[in-house]
Amino acid sequence: MRESSTLSGSEWAMDDLLAIEQFCAGHAERYGLDTFPNQMEVITSEQMLDSYVSSGLPVNYAHWSFGKHFLIESGKYQSGANALAYEIVLNTNPCIAFLMEGNSLAMQALVIPHACFGHNSFSKGNYLFQQWTQPDAVLDYMLFARNYVADCEERHGAERVEQTLDALHALRDQGLDKYKRPRKLDTRKERVEQARRLAVAQESMRQAEYYSVVPHAEKPTAAEPVFPASPEENLLYFIEKHAPKLEPWQRELARIVRKIAQYFYPQRQTQVMNEGWATFWHHRLLNDMYDARQIDQGILLECLHSHTNVIRQPEYGRLNPYALGFAAWNEIKRVCEAPTTEDREYLPEIAGQDWLKTFHDVMQNYRDESFLLQFLTPKLARDFRLMAIQTREGLDHWTVNDTAGGEGFKAIRSQLAASYRLESYIPEISVVRYGRDSDRKLVLQHQSYNGRTLHSAQTEQTLKHLRWLWGFDVTLEALDQSGRTIKTY
Amino acid sequence: MTSVIVDRRPDKGKSTANRQRVLKRLSGALKSQVDQLIARRKLNEHDKATEVTIERKDVSEPSFSIDPASGDSARVVPGNQHYRVGDKIPRDPAGGQGRGQGQGPGDGDDEDAFRFALSREEYLSLLFDELELPALVKKELLEIDENRFRRGGVVRYGNPGTVCVARTFKASIGRRVAAEAQFEEALEEAEAALKLARLSAEPARVQAAQLELKEVRQRGADIPFLDPVDLRHRSLIEVQSPRTAAVMFCLMDVSSSMDEARKDLAKRFFTLLYLFLTRKYAKVELVFIRHTDQAQEVDEDTFFNGTQAGSTKVLSALAKMHEIIRLRYPASQYNIFGAQASDGDSFGADSTESSAYLIAQLLPESRYFVYAEVGEASSNTPTSLWTAYCSIQSEQFNMATVKGRNEVYPALAKLFQKEQPVAYAMG
């Protein structure tokens, strides 16, 4: 039996989830956390795996690769190698948070503030999410995409659709307008637009047919201008607009793959900040709920146990974004409230400021790279015992360049921040020439830095897909830092 | 701001479409897995789910990526307790990739293969695809026998879905005919009473008679076209599948001329027959008899994998089968099935003797005996056993050559098509 209104024990009912959400909402308001309305969905472990494979999107089109990931993930889960995430949350409006049915009451009490208030407020407030995603429209768009793909399978055969999607998926990372802001998604407009694009394509085909029977009086003699005029970094976009042989429905698929890849662009750039933010707030809100006697000590202790596991940082391992993020936000709070001389030297702009105001400002206007560059404190680097190491191609060892205690803090800070740039792990490839009026050959360039070259087997495989899409010859020139071609694929 | 809770648990099977697609994609790799499983599994294990291992390279998804071994790399590592500036740390040949890979789901772990479970249906479908079974047979074998229903005539009660319209109308007509006859009789009586009353000229009597007539007329008008008592329902009776027992004798020549390919075909042949029998009979026992010039009852493992040298004498196996039937499986209690696989070699009088023995001793006791001559024929002339068996004229006997996997089913086709006779031996 449960005493009064304090939650205890490990069993939960639907009402308890709603109660936790209400408690959190009460406390969150005091901190000015601005959130989308929450929609908590209770799911089974199998459904959690479903969400994994489509990166949290509740609706997705059918493709074998999702089936593959499902098999791999469920195998790992069943063999006990991996535990499932307790929650998955997607930036939609309303904010959909998936909660596993197998979680204990304490786990739900941890997960709800984490997802429904932490991640929710982050994706509502952060500038990248605001610019790149449309939380109101994404579910409608996914529904459109699913139906469109199913429709294509019916019209054009599942095999051709699969082959097209395989090829497009290979170029998924090259489907971003990194500097242009995407247009707002709107399903209704999208359908109208799609019909318009189809009509334009058909019209141009008719014209081409017409001109092919009308003899030309004179041939254009001027030298072919270079096209595109400036290199195009968005390969998928270029294919959608210019691939000579694609059918209209294939262009539409290219668009769908591109739009979805784009949707995850902000998430990939804010992992440390976002997880740290959510972890900070679940920690805070849990303590508030305990102080208000809304949860009992048993729940708090179980939550703290899980919390400690989440922020564990193994030595010499990969940096745990939860641990780093949580520590970084706590450091910001400390610097605001009780700055040391060192903090005043490194972070004068926030030392002694109102911590809550600073928090919201930072959450809204930074991403991992700029966040770490700006707010990593020397104390955090010492606490984490960070060191910067370096190696060169062919060397059999790493050399320690800087350690946290000494002079090397700034070097560590900038190196750490740089490792969170997308460009540090996604190769920069752009379209430089398209022989639009001649042989229709496509020329790509890869710009490498610090001698980091493309993985040749993977590149060959990817180019095979690209050549199939393009229908004509495609070459890739790999350039070194000084602009010399080192390899041509 | 309103928050809601949705219970999503009932929406199951979202991954089914993707699973079908990946299995189709993997069909090549899965086929070779199934081949290995057929060699490894026992006959009565085929009807179960199984685990398979798939190489990652079979399902790789390429993308442009940076070669982790190339160029200069720099990392920031936490937890340093040992090293000072300028120290050298040996490079881990396997790891050392740092971040770069491992962003997407499913990447980031270096295992070359992954395991997953194939359901019973998926496994059998792959098995059947190779055997080129007709769709109907496939369906029958894939179905798990649940209780079946058969029509059980017409009853008065049932749920609305089972109403039998024709029979209901029939009942309604009968009831109305009966009721109207009664009504007309009553009407005549009432009219006669009214006439008499008018003749008697007593107003009270006339009034009473008029009232009576009106009532009778009303009763006539009240006869319903359809009445609940007319309702008839089709009845369905649950039929217990016959609780009968069968025994399947697997006979195989294991002399050296039976090579691995032949044994593989034989195993598929036995497997399909066994699956078929388990659909028809509640309990199927297996007896394995291998023979060279002598017959032995052995366990399944020895049967398929053991080797034995010697010449060939088919009769010894048939005699062994007969002996076991007499000792353990009386024909009154068991449906006896014999399946013989051989390359057809036999010497001297053995084939004709075997054929005669089969006709005289075994066929009268058996429900069915099927002989499969497996593998490519070594010469153009039919083998001696084949020639001898050709003389057997019986509904319960069938023989076929099985040169490839797609010929396993035709060898058993007759059995599958045959309507099972009504007389079951009760176990």
Average pLDDT value for residue range A462-474: 88
Per the CB < 8 A criterion, the answer to whether B77 and A386 are in contact is yes
- Confidence class of residue B40 from pLDDT cuts 50, 70 and 90? confident
Residue B327 lies in a domain: yes
- Asked if the Cβ–Cβ distance from A400 to B60 is below 8 Å, we say no
pLDDT-wise least confident of A336-350, A404-418, B238-252:
B238-252
State the smallest CA–CA distance between residue B11 and chain A in angstroms.
8
Q: Classify the C-alpha dihedral B49-B50-B51-B56 as positive or negative.
A: negative
**Residues B174 and B284 reside in one and the same domain:** no
- Computed over every residue of chain B, the mean pLDDT equals 79
What pLDDT score was predicted for residue B173?
Answer: 94
Which of A22, A16, A104 is closest to A285 using CA atoms?
A22
Q: What is the pTM of this model?
A: 0.70
The two tokens of residue B424 are 């079951």
State residue B4 phi and psi, 5-degree precision.
-135, 160
Residue B6 lies in a domain: no
Question: H-helix or E-strand containing B251?
Answer: strand B245-253
Residue B421, pLDDT > 50, answer: no
- Confidence class of residue B59 from pLDDT cuts 50, 70 and 90? confident
**Residues B117 and B167 reside in one and the same domain:** no
Of the two residues B148 and A315, the one the predictor is more confident about is: A315
What pLDDT score was predicted for residue A84?
Answer: 63
The amino acid sitting at B80 is N
Average pLDDT value for residue range A397-412: 83
**Residues B175 and B118 reside in one and the same domain:** no
Per the CB < 8 A criterion, the answer to whether A389 and B74 are in contact is yes
Residue that is last in its domain, among B235, B264, B287: B235
A485 vs B: CB within 8 A:
no
- Confidence class of residue B403 from pLDDT cuts 50, 70 and 90? confident
- Asked if the Cβ–Cβ distance from B83 to A42 is below 8 Å, we say no
- Confidence class of residue B271 from pLDDT cuts 50, 70 and 90? confident
**Residues B381 and B326 reside in one and the same domain:** yes
- Computed over every residue of chain A, the mean pLDDT equals 84
What pLDDT score was predicted for residue A328?
Answer: 92
ipTM strictly over 0.90?
no
A81, closest residue in chain B (CA to CA) = B109
A456 vs B: CB within 8 A:
yes
Name the 3-class secondary structure at A374: helix
- Mutate which of A96, A147, A398 to test chain B, going by most B C-beta atoms within 10 A? A398
- Confidence class of residue B102 from pLDDT cuts 50, 70 and 90? very low
Per the CB < 8 A criterion, the answer to whether A282 and A307 are in contact is yes
Per the CB < 8 A criterion, the answer to whether B345 and B385 are in contact is yes
**Residues B265 and B327 reside in one and the same domain:** yes
With beta carbons under 8 A apart, name residues in chain A contacting B10: none
- Mutate which of B60, B63, B92, B116 to test chain A, going by most A C-beta atoms within 10 A? B63
**Residues B395 and B345 reside in one and the same domain:** yes
What residues does B113 pair with on adjacent strands? B55
Residue A180, pLDDT > 80, answer: no
pLDDT-wise least confident of B8-12, B284-288, B334-338:
B8-12
**Residues B258 and B339 reside in one and the same domain:** yes
State residue A361 phi and psi, 5-degree precision.
-60, -45
Average pLDDT value for residue range B40-61: 77
Residue that is last in its domain, among B176, B204, B235: B235
Which of B263, B226, B85, B264 is closest to A401 using CA atoms?
B85
- Confidence class of residue B145 from pLDDT cuts 50, 70 and 90? low
**If you average pLDDT over each of A128-132, A402-406, B116-120, B169-173, which comes out highest?**
B169-173
The string of DSSP letters for B256-291 reads TTS-HHHHHHHHHHHHHHHHHHHHH-SEEEEEEEEE
A411 vs B: CB within 8 A:
no
- What whole-number distance in Å separates Cα of residue B107 and Cα of residue A68? 12
Beta strands across the sheet bearing B88-90: B73-77, A387-391, A397-403, B88-90
My answer on whether omega of the bond before B330 falls inside 30° of 0, hence cis, is no
- What whole-number distance in Å separates Cα of residue A236 and Cα of residue A35? 33
Q: What are the pLDDT digits (tens) for A318-335?
A: 888 899 999 999 999 999
Per the CB < 8 A criterion, the answer to whether B160 and B245 are in contact is no
Q: Which of A94, A396, A449 sits opposite B91 (nearest CB)?
A: A396
The interface residues of chain A toward chain B in range 379-408, judged by CB-CB distance below 8 A, are 384-393, 395-404, 406, 408
Q: How far is the CA of A244 from the CAs of A8, A250, A439, A441, in angstroms?
A: 64, 12, 11, 10
Q: Please state the domain count of chain B.
A: 3
The string of DSSP letters for B289-340 reads EEESSSEEEE-HHHHHH--------HHHHHHHHHHHHHHH--TTT-EEEEEE
A161, closest residue in chain B (CA to CA) = B21
B19, closest residue in chain A (CA to CA) = A67
What pLDDT score was predicted for residue B308?
Answer: 76
- What whole-number distance in Å separates Cα of residue A421 and Cα of residue A133? 19
Question: H-helix or E-strand containing B426?
Answer: none
Residue B143 lies in a domain: no
- Asked if the Cβ–Cβ distance from B3 to A455 is below 8 Å, we say no
With beta carbons under 8 A apart, name residues in chain A contacting B116: 71-72, 74-75
- Asked if the Cβ–Cβ distance from B64 to A458 is below 8 Å, we say yes
Which of A268, A285, A254 is closest to A91 using CA atoms?
A268
The string of DSSP letters for B24-40 reads HHTHHHHHHHHHHHHHH
A447 vs B: CB within 8 A:
no
Q: Check which CATH number belongs to the domain holding B303 and give it.
A: 3.40.50.410
What pLDDT score was predicted for residue B144?
Answer: 58
Q: What are the pLDDT digits (tens) for A59-116?
A: 888 888 888 888 888 877 777 666 666 677 778 888 888 888 888 888 888 888 998 8
Per the CB < 8 A criterion, the answer to whether A414 and A403 are in contact is no
What pLDDT score was predicted for residue B177?
Answer: 92
- Mutate which of A14, A389, A423 to test chain B, going by most B C-beta atoms within 10 A? A389
What pLDDT score was predicted for residue A434?
Answer: 84
Q: What angle do CA B202, B203, B204 make, to 5 degrees?
A: 95
Look up tokens 């708090």; give the residue: A300
Residue ranges of the domains in chain A?
Answer: 14-126+270-304, 319-423, 426-488
- What whole-number distance in Å separates Cα of residue A158 and Cα of residue A163? 9
Residue B170, pLDDT > 90, answer: yes
Which of B34, B43, B38 is closest to B250 using CA atoms?
B43
Per the CB < 8 A criterion, the answer to whether B103 and A419 are in contact is no
Residue B407 lies in a domain: yes
Residue B106 lies in a domain: no
pLDDT-wise least confident of A326-330, A475-479, B16-20, B188-192:
B16-20
- Confidence class of residue B106 from pLDDT cuts 50, 70 and 90? very low
Average pLDDT value for residue range B49-63: 80
- Confidence class of residue B245 from pLDDT cuts 50, 70 and 90? confident
A139 vs B: CB within 8 A:
no
- What whole-number distance in Å separates Cα of residue A487 and Cα of residue B12? 50
- What whole-number distance in Å separates Cα of residue A438 and Cα of residue A411? 50
Per the CB < 8 A criterion, the answer to whether B146 and B73 are in contact is no
- What whole-number distance in Å separates Cα of residue B254 and Cα of residue A136? 71
- Mutate which of B76, B81, B103 to test chain A, going by most A C-beta atoms within 10 A? B76
Average pLDDT value for residue range A266-277: 89
What pLDDT score was predicted for residue B309?
Answer: 75
The interface residues of chain A toward chain B in range 310-339, judged by CB-CB distance below 8 A, are 313-319
The two tokens of residue A83 are 């535990």
**Residues B255 and B306 reside in one and the same domain:** yes
Residue B405 lies in a domain: yes
Percent of chain A with pLDDT over 90: 7
Average pLDDT value for residue range A4-29: 82
With beta carbons under 8 A apart, name residues in chain B contacting A50: 14-15
The interface residues of chain A toward chain B in range 82-101, judged by CB-CB distance below 8 A, are 94, 98, 101
Percent of chain B with pLDDT over 90: 5
**Residues B270 and B209 reside in one and the same domain:** no
The two tokens of residue A242 are 């210019």
State the smallest CA–CA distance between residue A38 and chain B in angstroms.
5
User: Which parts of A364-416 are beta strand (E)?
Assistant: 387-391, 397-403
**Residues B301 and B391 reside in one and the same domain:** yes
Percent of chain B with pLDDT over 70: 85
Residues 6+ positions from B205 with CB-CB distance below 8 Å: B197
A392, closest residue in chain B (CA to CA) = B72
Average pLDDT value for residue range A111-128: 89
Residue B94, pLDDT > 50, answer: no
With beta carbons under 8 A apart, name residues in chain B contacting A43: 8-9
- Confidence class of residue B235 from pLDDT cuts 50, 70 and 90? confident
A412, closest residue in chain B (CA to CA) = B76
Average pLDDT value for residue range A326-355: 88
What pLDDT score was predicted for residue B357?
Answer: 87
**If you average pLDDT over each of A94-98, B177-181, B397-401, which comes out highest?**
B177-181
Residues 6+ positions from A262 with CB-CB distance below 8 Å: A132, A175, A176, A177, A182
What pLDDT score was predicted for residue A277?
Answer: 92
State the smallest CA–CA distance between residue A222 and chain B in angstroms.
36
- Asked if the Cβ–Cβ distance from A62 to B70 is below 8 Å, we say no
What pLDDT score was predicted for residue B415?
Answer: 67
- Asked if the Cβ–Cβ distance from B77 to A389 is below 8 Å, we say yes
- Confidence class of residue B232 from pLDDT cuts 50, 70 and 90? very high
Average pLDDT value for residue range B97-114: 44
Look up tokens 């798939």; give the residue: B54
What pLDDT score was predicted for residue B240?
Answer: 61
The two tokens of residue A380 are 């955090």
Average pLDDT value for residue range B392-420: 75
- Asked if the Cβ–Cβ distance from A398 to B19 is below 8 Å, we say no
State residue B23 phi and psi, 5-degree precision.
-65, -40
Residues 6+ positions from B363 with CB-CB distance below 8 Å: B369, B392, B394, B396, B397
**Residues B265 and B315 reside in one and the same domain:** yes
Residue that is last in its domain, among B235, B269, B296: B235
- What whole-number distance in Å separates Cα of residue B296 and Cα of residue B321? 10
A159 vs B: CB within 8 A:
no
Residue B168, pLDDT > 90, answer: yes
Q: What are the pLDDT digits (tens) for A210-263?
A: 777 766 544 444 555 677 777 888 888 888 888 888 888 999 999 999 888 888
- Asked if the Cβ–Cβ distance from A67 to B22 is below 8 Å, we say yes
Average pLDDT value for residue range A22-51: 86
B100, closest residue in chain A (CA to CA) = A425
Could you list the residue range(s) of the whole structural domain that residue B51 is in?
23-55+113-131
- Confidence class of residue B378 from pLDDT cuts 50, 70 and 90? low
Residue B367 lies in a domain: yes
State the smallest CA–CA distance between residue A358 and chain B in angstroms.
26
- Asked if the Cβ–Cβ distance from B25 to A116 is below 8 Å, we say no
Average pLDDT value for residue range B169-180: 92
Average pLDDT value for residue range B206-218: 89
The two tokens of residue A431 are 């379209």
State the smallest CA–CA distance between residue B144 and chain A in angstroms.
25
Per the CB < 8 A criterion, the answer to whether A447 and A414 are in contact is no
My answer on whether omega of the bond before B90 falls inside 30° of 0, hence cis, is no
- Mutate which of B7, B8, B53, B87 to test chain A, going by most A C-beta atoms within 10 A? B8
Residue B420, pLDDT > 70, answer: no
Per the CB < 8 A criterion, the answer to whether A404 and A382 are in contact is yes
With beta carbons under 8 A apart, name residues in chain B contacting A408: 85
User: Whats the size of chain A, residue-wise?
Assistant: 489
**Residues B197 and B296 reside in one and the same domain:** no
- Mutate which of B15, B27, B50, B92 to test chain A, going by most A C-beta atoms within 10 A? B15
What pLDDT score was predicted for residue B101?
Answer: 32
